[in-house]
């Protein structure tokens, strides 16, 4: 009864929900860029104030090293709690999200400014429906908003923002830059967080439009930067070319050895700890009828581009296998016109997506040892470990998982698919490691939402489903 009243409230009040979502999107909370430090705090404060309006006890918790004025060196975490209804018997849920967003570059490819959100219909050929276009539209402010609006619906219709369920809220501001200060934060708050029974995150996607899903696993990540140094100065390529190492050529030669002919990663020991995909899992995934060719077409590629580690389907490669990617490579002259030069150094950003129990620190060590072993003659490496996190797989038969599944069914009228994702959400590994908490990922994005890219969007139908699913989940919790 209460769930349906909350759902009706959401339908009747949708324009105001979208207005609030747009309001938050206007704050440019780019966590990786120090120029936006104050904006990040503004976005945190915006969220804290909304939680307080909704009846939560809400505060900003500092991260990193705290200075004399009480400011942390990291971005603050928005924390909130709510007293459950006296009769509440269900689990204590930790809701996690992030208010920080990715940088906006390349800025010229945005059709409207990234922090001036636009609510508009799909253009011809674009596919999908009405959407909000802005940085953070879906990742992750828009998805956190689905939770906040579900709270609003329950608050307005029953007086309690989670329908009586016991919740702790943790909205961090450094997810997009590697959650660097979060391990310490989680350890420092271990006592209070340890009271939680399960973590719920809305920061993933669905199987497709109108195909709701629960994600039961995300991959881990190890992120590095390597620089190969050669001469102590830039050189004339006519005088020195062919006589000494060109660090760009040599770096490219080394990085080209990362994969063998079967596109398997060649670093010794890399696959240690990788659990082979089970027959059951492969069979389950096959039933989801993922169309690899159609997905490639959307990003402008032919069927022939369906490449990766030999012996696995696209879905298996994304969800269940580790990968190595070069995310950036630079060096030498890249300005207009020509300049004949052999630079002193060349660099690359190299990252690894990890599965099962692969330890990001160990993988980084193995990679660095492999680089050293392949040091080109006369050259020297500078190796930087940026950040990392463990992947997680969540048991699919827990009561909380079943409650989430029922909630999605009552919100959408469809049984959710059980999927995994190739992306990474570092907090999930920390919560499992430090607190033994499992995470349920109930996300509402689509694979063409342009997350991290220009013209990021979140469709209103997906936003609506998110609000409804969280509202229905509160109802399921109260009934448990």
Binding site for ligand BES (CB under 6 A): 139-140, 175-176, 178, 203-205, 218, 221, 421, 423-426, 445, 451
**Cβ closer to Mn ion: 318 or 476?**
318
Strand partners, 329: 348
For CA atoms 232, 237, 243, 248, give the dihedral sign. positive
State the virtual CA torsion across 28, 33, 37, 39 in degrees, nearest 10: 0
d(CA 206, CA 208): 5
Residue 178 interacts, among Mn ion, ligand BES, none and using kind-specific CB cut-offs from 5 to 8 Å, with ligand BES
Q: For residue 9, what are the CA distances in angstroms to 14, 266, 276, 475?
A: 8, 56, 47, 14
174 near Mn ion (CB under 5 A):
no
**Cβ closer to ligand BES: 241 or 454?**
454
Choose one: 19-27, 197-205, 211-219, 339-347; the region binding Mn ion (CB under 5 A). Answer: 197-205
139 near Mn ion (CB under 5 A):
yes
**Cβ closer to ligand BES: 158 or 179?**
179
Smallest distance, ligand BES to C-beta of residue 42, A: 20
Q: For residue 235, what are the CA distances in angstroms to 246, 346, 381?
A: 10, 13, 19
Smallest distance, ligand BES to C-beta of residue 424, A: 4
149 near Mn ion (CB under 5 A):
no
449 near Mn ion (CB under 5 A):
no
DSSP 8-state code for residue 216: E
Which of 100, 149, 203, 449: binder of Mn ion (CB under 5 A)?
203
Q: Check if the beta carbon of residue 394 is closer than 8 Å to that of residue 192.
A: no
438 near Mn ion (CB under 5 A):
no
Q: Check if the beta carbon of residue 422 is closer than 8 Å to that of residue 460.
A: no
d(CA 323, CA 354): 7
Strand 380-389 relative to strand 235-236: parallel, antiparallel, unpaired?
A: unpaired
Task: Report the residue closest to ligand BES, judged by CB.
Answer: 423
Annotate 407-426 with DSSP letters as a single string.
HHHHHHSSPPEEEEESS--H
**Cβ closer to Mn ion: 46 or 99?**
99
Smallest distance, ligand BES to C-beta of residue 104, A: 15
456 near Mn ion (CB under 5 A):
no
**Cβ closer to ligand BES: 166 or 219?**
219
Residue 205 interacts, among ligand BES, Mn ion, none and using kind-specific CB cut-offs from 5 to 8 Å, with ligand BES
Q: For residue 395, what are the CA distances in angstroms to 204, 215, 360, 441?
A: 17, 11, 22, 12
**Cβ closer to ligand BES: 99 or 270?**
99
Smallest distance, ligand BES to C-beta of residue 133, A: 18
Which of 30, 91, 140, 388: binder of Mn ion (CB under 5 A)?
140
Smallest distance, ligand BES to C-beta of residue 69, A: 29
Q: For residue 144, what are the CA distances in angstroms to 24, 136, 286, 389?
A: 11, 10, 31, 22
Residue 251 interacts, among Mn ion, ligand BES, none and using kind-specific CB cut-offs from 5 to 8 Å, with none
């Amino acid at each position: 009864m209460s769930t349906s009243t909350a759902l009706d409230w959401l339908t009747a009040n949708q324009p105001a929900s979208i207005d609030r979502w747009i309001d938050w999107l206007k704050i440019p909370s780019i966590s990786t860029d120090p120029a936006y430090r104050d904006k990040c705090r503004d976005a945190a404060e915006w969220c804290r104030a909304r939680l307080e309006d909704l009846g939560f006890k809400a505060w900003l918790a500092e991260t990193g090293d705290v200075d004399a004025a009480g400011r942390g060196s990291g971005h603050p975490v928005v924390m909130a709690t709510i007293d459950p209804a006296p009769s509440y018997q269900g689990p204590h849920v930790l809701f996690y999200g992030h208010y920080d967003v990715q940088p906006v570059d390349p800025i010229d490819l945005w059709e409207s400014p990234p922090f001036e959100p636009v609510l508009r219909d799909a253009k011809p050929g674009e596919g999908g429906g009405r959407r909000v276009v802005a940085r953070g539209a879906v990742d992750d402010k828009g998805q956190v908003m689905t939770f906040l609006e579900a709270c609003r619906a329950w608050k307005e219709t029953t007086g309690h923002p989670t329908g009586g369920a016991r919740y702790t809220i943790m909205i961090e501001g450094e997810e997009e830059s590697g959650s660097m200060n979060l391990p310490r934060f989680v350890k420092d708050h271990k006592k209070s967080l340890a009271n939680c029974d399960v973590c719920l995150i809305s920061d993933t996607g669905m199987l497709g439009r109108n195909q709701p899903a629960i994600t039961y696993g995300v991959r881990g990540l190890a992120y590095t930067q390597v620089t190969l140094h050669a001469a102590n100065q830039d050189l004339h390529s006519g005088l020195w070319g062919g006589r000494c190492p060109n660090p760009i050529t040599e770096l490219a030669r080394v990085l080209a050895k990362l994969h063998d002919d079967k596109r398997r990663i060649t670093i010794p020991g890399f696959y240690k700890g990788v659990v082979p995909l089970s027959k059951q899992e492969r069979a389950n995934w096959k039933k989801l009828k993922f169309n690899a060719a159609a997905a490639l077409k959307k990003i402008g590629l032919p069927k022939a581009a369906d490449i990766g580690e030999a012996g696995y389907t696209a879905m298996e490669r994304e969800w269940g296998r580790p990968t190595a990617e070069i995310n950036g490579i630079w060096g030498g002259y890249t300005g207009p016109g020509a300049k004949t030069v052999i630079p002193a150094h060349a660099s690359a950003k190299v990252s690894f997506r990890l599965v099962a129990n692969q330890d990001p620190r160990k993988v980084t060590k193995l990679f660095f040892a492999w680089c050293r072993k392949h040091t080109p003659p006369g050259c020297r490496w500078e190796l930087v470990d940026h950040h990392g996190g463990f992947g997680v797989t969540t048991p699919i038969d827990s009561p909380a998982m079943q409650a989430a599944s029922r909630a999605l069914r009552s919100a959408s009228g469809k049984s959710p698919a059980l999927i995994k994702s190739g992306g990474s959400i570092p907090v999930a590994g920390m919560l499992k490691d430090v607190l033994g908490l499992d995470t349920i990922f109930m996300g509402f994005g689509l694979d063409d939402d342009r997350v991290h890219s220009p013209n990021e969007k979140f469709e209103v139908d997906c936003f609506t489903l998110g609000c409804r699913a969280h509202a229905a989940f509160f109802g399921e919790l109260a009934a448990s």
